[in-house]
Amino acid sequence: MLSSRPTRIAIIALSCIALTIAVYIMLVVKSDQPLPGCGEDQCNAVLTSRWEQWGIFPVAHLGIGGYVSLISATLLAGVVRLPMLKIGLWAFMIVESLTGLGFIAWLLLLQWIIIKQFCIFCLSSHLFGVAAYAIILWKAPAWHGFYHARRRLTGGAAALLTFMIAVHIFVVPDMMAVQAADKMAPTDSAEEAALSTGMLQFGKKEASRTVKLLNDNLTFDLYKVPVSGDHNAEHVLVELSDYCCPSCRSLHRRLDQFKADYAINMVIVHLPAPMNTECNPHIKKTPKGFANACRLARLAMAVNQADPKQFPAYHNYLMTGRFPPQPEAAHKKAEAMIGKEALATALADEKTGEWITNGLNLKRYIKAPTLPKLITKTQVISYSGGSKAAFRAMMKKALGVTELTKRK
């Protein structure tokens, strides 16, 4: 029976473990740092996805609230004497257990089918939560002794679960974050020197370059980087992305719409940071869906190396659509744009690979666990989705403008 002391202790212990893991996940997500042991390709793919939010709340908050209420109800069930109050507490815990089991199954389905990555820490919290829920459904007297109540409790749990899943699907969260640049620069000058290769120089340097971002810690010549837009534009942003990254592709669509809607003099520097072990030594394994990340990045940089004027159109080609093109199709497109011999020469040029190294070094410098990132004079902005209005507000802050002029 649930009223027995060993049963209550088991439920509380399991719930406390699940709660501790959920709190830890929440704290790490808020710090925008990778979860230890997950690298850049598993937990962070889940925790920075659009599905990490339930409406305006992180999913971790739902788990925390659920486990706290479960612990509280279990404690009360052991001390109250009124039979009706005991039955009410058991009924509450049964509904929460059924709803929790259903929502955990939903989250696992999302990780398997949609995100295509599993978060080990999330799975651990789910495991202990499922164990606590199973004990409640096994031991609660209201579940085994009152069959009419069972039907009502099951119906209530089904309705609540339907509501939770509907909110998760149809309420699209705003998932953007801004970090101050002065909190990201390494304090070790040796680390700055090791990361400074090619045209990207990290740390305070003498004014010898055209553009300085990140509180003057990132210096480069705008005419020597892959860009889309006018080299003389007032506003300069650096986009750090991966052609196989769904959030990066979503950001590309948002930026295109933003530039079409507003008359803003802006140029964007595009640097690839492929999430693939073929060219990225900083990840443990290649995430699902990123098998072609290095090949596409190298093709893009080769087009820029051969003919920078063709790069914006080729970059747009690689980023257009829900999924990236296959490498064979992308190779033929590059040949059609710059010529077969020019592409072969550019692909063999060491400078083409330097762009990828620069992008990966920049990602490490700003300690970015996820992509994409937009870099401004004083901020590093994360994007994982959100409303059009929220994106407009974010861009106003990124560009340092108070008003935007609509295009006629």
* 8-state DSSP, 310: G
Q: Is 396 exposed, middle or buried (0-12, 13-18, 19+ CB in 10 A)?
A: middle
Which token pair is 117?
A: 């990555």
Nearest-angstrom CA–CA distance, 76 and 86? 8
Angle at CA 34, nearest 5°, toward 32 and 39?
A: 155
Q: Is 151 exposed, middle or buried (0-12, 13-18, 19+ CB in 10 A)?
A: exposed
**pLDDT number for residue 207:** 42
Tell me which CATH homologous superfamily contains domain 5-170: VKOR domain (1.20.1440.130)
Nearest C-alpha neighbor of 307 from the set 353, 357, 341: 341
**pLDDT number for residue 80:** 85
How far from chain centre, in Å, is Cα 9?
37
**pLDDT number for residue 280:** 94
The domain limits of the chain are 5-170, 175-399
Nearest-angstrom CA–CA distance, 129 and 76? 19
Nearest C-alpha neighbor of 181 from the set 398, 402, 401, 403: 398
For the domain made up of 175-399, the CATH class stated in words is alpha beta
Cα–Cα distance list, 284 to 43, 296, 330 (Å): 13, 20, 27
Nearest-angstrom CA–CA distance, 294 and 27? 32
CB half-sphere exposure, 182, CA atoms < 13 A: 1
**252 φ/ψ angles, rounded to the nearest 5 degrees:** -60, -45
Nearest-angstrom CA–CA distance, 35 and 127? 18
**pLDDT number for residue 355:** 92
The neighbouring-strand residues paired with 212 are 219
The neighbouring-strand residues paired with 379 are 180
**pLDDT number for residue 397:** 85
Q: Kindly provide the b/e burial profile for residues 195-205, where b requires at least 16 CB atoms within 10 angstroms of the residue's own CB.
A: bbeeebbbbee
Amino acid at the residue 290: F
**What is the pLDDT tens value at each position of the chain, 408 positions in all?**
455 788 889 999 999 999 999 998 888 766 656 666 565 556 777 877 888 889 888 898 999 999 999 999 999 988 888 888 887 888 899 999 999 999 999 999 998 988 888 888 889 999 999 999 999 988 776 555 555 677 788 899 999 999 999 999 998 777 676 777 766 666 576 777 777 776 677 776 554 447 999 998 999 999 889 999 999 899 999 999 999 998 999 999 999 999 999 999 999 999 999 999 999 998 888 988 899 999 999 999 999 999 999 999 999 999 999 899 999 999 999 999 999 999 999 999 998 999 999 999 999 999 888 899 999 999 999 988 888 888 999 899 888 898 999 987
Nearest-angstrom CA–CA distance, 325 and 299? 12
pTM, 2 dp: 0.68
E strand or H helix that includes residue 24: helix 5-31
Strand order in the sheet with 211-213: 201-202, 218-220, 211-213
Contact 331, 244 (CB under 8 A): no
Nearest-angstrom CA–CA distance, 151 and 147? 7
Nearest C-alpha neighbor of 35 from the set 149, 120, 135: 120
